[in-house]
Structure 1
Amino acid sequence: MLGAVRDALPSPRCLPLARRLPAPWRRLRSSAHPRRWFGSRRRSPPPLRRPVVSPGGGGARSRGSRRRGRAEAAAAVPRGGGSAMALWERGAGGAAEAGEDAAEGPERGPPLLPWDHFSAWLHCVCVVGFDLELGQAVEVIYPPHSKLTDKEKTNICYLSFPDSNSGCLGDTQFCFRFRRSSGRKASVCCFLDHLDRDLPVYLKKDPAYYYGYVYFRQVRDKSLKRGYFQKSLVLISKLPYVHLFRTVLKQIAPEYFEKSEAFLEAVCSDVDRWPPPIPGEVLHLPIMGVVMKLRVPTYRDKPGTTPIVQNMHQADAQISMTLPTVHEVDLFRCFCPVFFHIQMLWELVLLGEPLVVMAPSPAESSETVLALVSCISPLKYCSDFRPYFTIHDSEFKEYTTRTQAPPSVILGVTNPFFAKTLQHWPHIIRIGDIKLPGDVPKQVKVKKLKNLKTLDSKPGVYTSYKPYLNKDEEIVKQLQKGVQQKRPTEAQSVILRRYFLELTESFIIPLERYVASLMPLQKCISPWKSPPQLRHFSQDDFMKTLEKAGPQLTSGLKGDWIGLYRHFLKSPNFDGWFRSRQKEMTQKLEALHLEALCNENLVFWSQKHTEVETVDLVLKLKNKLLQADREHLPVKTDTLKKLQAHIRDIILALPDDLQDILLKTGTT
């Protein structure tokens, strides 16, 4: 959005303040605060640059080699990703157009290098094997330059293998989530983080966590001392695209176990040719002879829809498969063992209550936890959740201590040891083996926690929680009828997802309406004052609005809605949602303030004020431009161009010596 503005208006941050100001103003500031303004000799750190490693291993390349590498990487992008590549290069600050390595910086971002395409999707690929002396061990990390701390490697080792008595013979797929080590440097691909702003809130990356997507194989092998071949292929990513990476592993893992490391290098090279994951674009992702067609959702999409638009740049004959979703799990299959209690589970997740899912295998555990987290969509689940959690996890003591109340977290476990360790948790879901579609589940009453003694206890929900809302019998009958009529599980999942969506929207609309009323009126915005603040959120005032504009307008469910709201307002999910809305509205106020400034005659104002005040205004306007770019303010391009013209006109009205200084220092 600000590419043209940045080209014509370089950032003043790249110059010392002393060089940005006219001589009289410099002297004034220097005498007042000599050390504050000019005493520090600290320099900005050099821009991050990742050593580039070839697929075969090699060391860092020369500057010329890097330029050639960028050209090769750009040329290798499939034609279907052309528009995506263009946006990516614009997001990098136009460095490709400028043709300079010197274009790097915090506002522009580094130019694309080999493996930057790969890093937009994955952090690395790991192979975890079993060693008789060491136990689980990371055998391969690819690309070789990928960084993982020892703590992260240990977590990956234990989370990549089943931790239960089920045996898991054959092939098993599941996923886990683990905390990144503190003190890690920012990724060299952080300039792509602006893509996050167009994602729905529940798909935005959490910089504190990684996802691990696992394909585990365990087969008998008499040639090995242990008698079994045990190995996991693991994709480590910041992206919560469960369905996409599950599909990728299905394509590559079986062949990898036959062909080993050379095949893995070819897979990573394919991923490095993928276009960036731009929300709203139809992407074609080639992987070992297969082309996947998919679309990453945007926040503008109507909730509950998964549009796939035909891409005219690539013939459908070349598409091997179309993914209807990148992130959704089979909701009905996951909830089938406990679907009589889905409404109560929705309340528990909404309120951020501590939940444990006890399952016989990591596959059932991880899918059920992900289904629980997604049931309050489009709200984001703001607490921690672990689709698969083991006794070796680095947060095991933190989450199992009895010295304090259980934290707001959802854990998926398989080890029988947890039946005793987590017995003090208030809400436990016991999942048996997930049955095939067509089996009619029996209605199971909510059980008391004292009845849960071992992991082998009967499936069900163990809690003393009393739901705020009356049970919706209609959705239960509809799902039961679908099972009896052998309705496809995909159709059952659509019904269930729509039910959760309507329930969540009915709950959140009154909150949205009230929070919108906290926004100051536009007439309160003055160009010569700071933007006004949002009004304070009052729980009592909000509760008063529910009588006439509550959830009863959109939902037929009866019950204690007031009690549910009071509980929700104390939860981490409300805190996360309200912070997000605050940020959006504050940015809107900043954008309106910018528009108000642009509508003023700033040249006339500058003629009535001193040169020092005029220069100060120019610098403040420049900072406004930088803020609009940095925070992605919802400002029209015309407004930004108009503000740039104001800055230029103000400078041209100043004496020649000041013009020269301000023009040279990149103030226009």
Structure 2
Amino acid sequence: MDPFDSCDSREGASKTAATNSQTPEPWSRFSAWLECVCVVTFDLELGQAIELVYPHDVKLTEKEKTSICYLSFPDSYSGCLGDTQFSFRLRHSVGRRGSWFGQEDAYNRAAPVTLQKEHAHFHGYVYFRQVKDASVKRGYFQKSLVVVSRLPFVELFHSLLQVIAPEYFEKLEPCLETVCNEIDQWPAPVPGQTLNLPVMGVVMQVTIPSNVETPAGSLSKQTQQENLLPAPMILPSVHELDLFKCFQSVLIHVQMLWELMLLGEPVVVMAPSPTGSSETVLALVSSIAPMRYCGDYRPYFTIHDSEFKEYTTRTQAPPNVILGVTNPFFIKTFQCWPHIIRLGDLKISGDLPKQLKIKKLAKLKTLDTKPGIYTAYKTFLQKDKALIKRILKGIQKKRPSEVQSSILRRHLLDQTQSFIFPLEQYLSSLMPPQRTVSPWKTPPQIRPFSQEEFIKTLDQGGPHLTSVLKGDWMGLYRRFFRSPNFDGWYRLRHREMTQKVECLHLEAICAADLLAWTRDKSEVEIVDLILKLREKLAKARRHQLPVKEEQLERLEQSIQTIISSLPEDLQTVLHRQSQSEPHEH
């Protein structure tokens, strides 16, 4: 996670992209979007096997290849005939070094935390085809085309597969090479820009959300020159799923599911197909946006997974993870888990989707367990009956799915923001006052987070000011403080606040008359100051703090002026030391 605050990050990303376009490393543009493309097939002797990886020199470990093989085919219980799309998430092998390129950090600084590139996981997007084929011994053609990426762009990559997979299954390898070469010509993924991505005669137009204010819909320079391309296929989002479709059978429990996600509770989603399991898990994770879900989540999980033993041990409490599964074997395995969502095929009652009932965990015994939510969890907040009524009325009025999804997403976003706002307000009170930042002292400390002090602020500035929901908000916060999501959120915000103080301190130093300060100081004190200033300068460049370049240059000039006021022998030593240090840019 590299969530550095950034004022000029979009510009930085553009510069990096520009540099890469002048001297691109082999596959550097491709690698900005994808790690690789794999073809997984069924071999009578080997079972599931990787038939092809592109680019050929991509470095996947044997463990990663094995995991991709098993995660790229639906479980035999799913009975998926025809074409099936789903996604998975895969932990990197220990000790792997990623294929980093310059735009990595620039992208992450400009992207919302929920859309940043992952450093410890790959996302896999699968297009699986199973059709009858008399020419094959088993009587079926079974193959998956898999796109592996660090980016959580589920909608973009599933749309990409819809364009390339049917063609690939007809024409095979040469077609894949052409596709990868086309992707290697795409502009870099820059948050806040509208990008045209041509592939196989289709142009997908996407806008990657940004956490930095940008002019709406500005097309990248590269795409403006592509006047000869066909009219684009505009994707409304790179990552947003159809929430209404995912939550149709659990609409009356959306409040409870939001709380389970906020608290990072262990949840298993059992679905009839990997499509259902992966979409539901991703919808659950996205329900607490703009907060990042900091537990682990696996949209599709199988008994062959390398973490299977770790996640199914009975000797300790279940880990903070959401697992999407299809194999009925898991019903027995996960009997000790506190929350299990068992989905069935969607049933309609009258003209409304039949809603799952809350059931006791004790009933989760047999393999023919009925659909339901098996949990003893009691919500802290009451349901928003007006929302449920509005969505159900929308079904009767045949309101389009994207409108229903938009209503649900807006509600969940408002709810999360109402929850976060008091925390943000309290955090800002922990920042040292700007007047206490002096160029002659070390930066002041941020006050520590006190849970009890925060709880006392809720009467005056709690979520009840912005949310219609009634209930035990205080109890929800206390439980949240014990969750991985609080830990992840606080670490990120504390890091950003520390950086803010560092920036203010650096700005104060840049504005100070350093030479005047040195006039009555000893040589030892002056050399100490020079070394500290150099360290500060290197840190600012290394972390790419949001400080204007001219301020850093002014500081560099001040250092040179102070050095030139020293005796010549000291000047020589300091210049020599400066040359031997690695310069951070």
| TM tier, smaller | over 0.9
Instruction: Map residues 163-562 of structure 1 onto 2, 5 A cutoff.
Output: 163-189=75-101, 192-300=104-212, 308-309=217-218, 312-315=224-227, 318-434=230-346, 440-454=352-366, 456-562=368-474
8 Å contact 1:211–1:236 — kept in the other structure? yes
Aligned residue number for residue 611 of structure 1: 523
Distance 1:373 1:436 in 2: 26
Q: CA deviation at 1:612?
A: 4.0
8 Å contact 1:383–1:408 — kept in the other structure? yes
Distance 1:533 1:462 in 2: 46
Distance 2:467 2:228 in 1: 42
What is the root-mean-square deviation of aligned Cα atoms in Å? 2.4
Distance 1:542 1:199 in 2: 29
8 Å contact 1:369–1:387 — kept in the other structure? yes
SS of 1:165's partner is: helix
Distance 1:358 1:281 in 2: 38
Which residue identity is paired with 1:154?
A: T
8 Å contact 1:369–1:410 — kept in the other structure? yes
SS of 2:240's partner is: coil
The alignment-based identity, stated in percent, is 60
Distance 2:230 2:538 in 1: 43
8 Å contact 2:347–2:354 — kept in the other structure? no
Which residue identity is paired with 2:445?
A: Q
1:162 counterpart = 2:74? yes
Cα 1:616–1:641 shift into 2, 3 Å:
same
SS of 2:374's partner is: strand
Residue segments in structure 2 that go unaligned for 5+ positions in a row: 1-9
8 Å contact 2:133–2:141 — kept in the other structure? yes
Distance 1:482 1:328 in 2: 20
Distance 2:31 2:282 in 1: 24
Q: CA deviation at 1:649?
A: 1.8
Q: CA deviation at 1:279?
A: 0.8
Aligned residues: 568
Distance 2:288 2:549 in 1: 35
Distance 1:252 1:163 in 2: 24
8 Å contact 1:164–1:361 — kept in the other structure? no
Distance 2:41 2:12 in 1: 37
SS of 1:517's partner is: helix
1:568 to 480, 485, 489: 480
Residue segments in structure 1 that go unaligned for 5+ positions in a row: 1-81, 97-110
Aligned residue number for residue 88 of structure 1: 16
Q: CA deviation at 1:154?
A: 0.8
SS of 1:623's partner is: helix
Cα 1:440–1:498 shift into 2, 3 Å:
same
Q: CA deviation at 1:661?
A: 5.2
Distance 1:439 1:637 in 2: 62
Q: CA deviation at 1:432?
A: 1.7
Aligned residue number for residue 20 of structure 1: none
Distance 2:540 2:303 in 1: 46
Q: Tell me the TM-score normalized by structure 2.
A: 0.92
Q: CA deviation at 1:203?
A: 1.0
Which residue identity is paired with 1:280?
A: G
Q: CA deviation at 1:448?
A: 1.2
Which residue identity is paired with 1:179?
A: R
Distance 2:51 2:437 in 1: 60
Cα 1:633–1:149 shift into 2, 3 Å:
same
Instruction: Map residues 45-56 of structure 1 onto 2, 5 A cutoff.
Output: none
SS of 1:139's partner is: strand
Q: Which moved more, 1:565-574 or 1:306-315?
A: 306-315
Distance 2:19 2:480 in 1: 38
SS of 2:198's partner is: strand
Q: CA deviation at 1:449?
A: 1.4
Q: Tell me the TM-score normalized by structure 1.
A: 0.81
Cα 1:588–1:400 shift into 2, 3 Å:
same
SS of 1:126's partner is: strand
8 Å contact 1:125–1:236 — kept in the other structure? yes
Distance 2:17 2:342 in 1: 49
SS of 2:352's partner is: coil
Q: CA deviation at 1:273?
A: 0.6
Cα 1:434–1:271 shift into 2, 3 Å:
farther
Q: CA deviation at 1:460?
A: 2.4
Distance 2:19 2:112 in 1: 19
Q: CA deviation at 1:658?
A: 4.2
Q: CA deviation at 1:644?
A: 2.0
Instruction: Map residues 28-107 of structure 1 onto 2, 5 A cutoff.
Output: 86-89=14-17
Distance 1:634 1:418 in 2: 49
Distance 2:113 2:196 in 1: 24
Distance 2:384 2:13 in 1: 48
CA deviation vs aligned residue, 1:61-97 (integer Å, no higher than 9, x gap): xxxxxxxxxxxxxxxxxxxxx99985225677xx96x
Distance 1:205 1:503 in 2: 26
Q: CA deviation at 1:293?
A: 1.1
1:598 counterpart = 2:526? no
CA deviation vs aligned residue, 1:424-470 (integer Å, no higher than 9, x gap): 11111111225799951124431111223345433321111000001
Q: CA deviation at 1:356?
A: 0.6
Q: CA deviation at 1:288?
A: 1.4
8 Å contact 1:84–1:278 — kept in the other structure? no
Distance 1:647 1:237 in 2: 44
SS of 1:217's partner is: strand
Distance 2:100 2:217 in 1: 31
Cα 1:243–1:307 shift into 2, 3 Å:
farther
Cα 1:381–1:295 shift into 2, 3 Å:
same
Q: CA deviation at 1:188?
A: 3.9
1:589 counterpart = 2:501? yes
Q: CA deviation at 1:662?
A: 4.2
Distance 2:347 2:568 in 1: 81
Q: Which moved more, 1:581-590 or 1:322-331?
A: 322-331
Q: Which moved more, 1:645-654 or 1:421-430?
A: 645-654
1:645 to 557, 563, 579: 557
Q: Which moved more, 1:348-357 or 1:609-618?
A: 609-618
Distance 1:84 1:636 in 2: 12
8 Å contact 2:381–2:471 — kept in the other structure? yes
Cα 1:438–1:522 shift into 2, 3 Å:
farther
Aligned residue number for residue 4 of structure 2: none
Distance 1:595 1:419 in 2: 59
Cα 1:90–1:223 shift into 2, 3 Å:
closer
SS of 1:415's partner is: coil
Cα 1:652–1:455 shift into 2, 3 Å:
farther
Cα 1:461–1:284 shift into 2, 3 Å:
same
Q: CA deviation at 1:349?
A: 0.5
Distance 2:139 2:113 in 1: 47
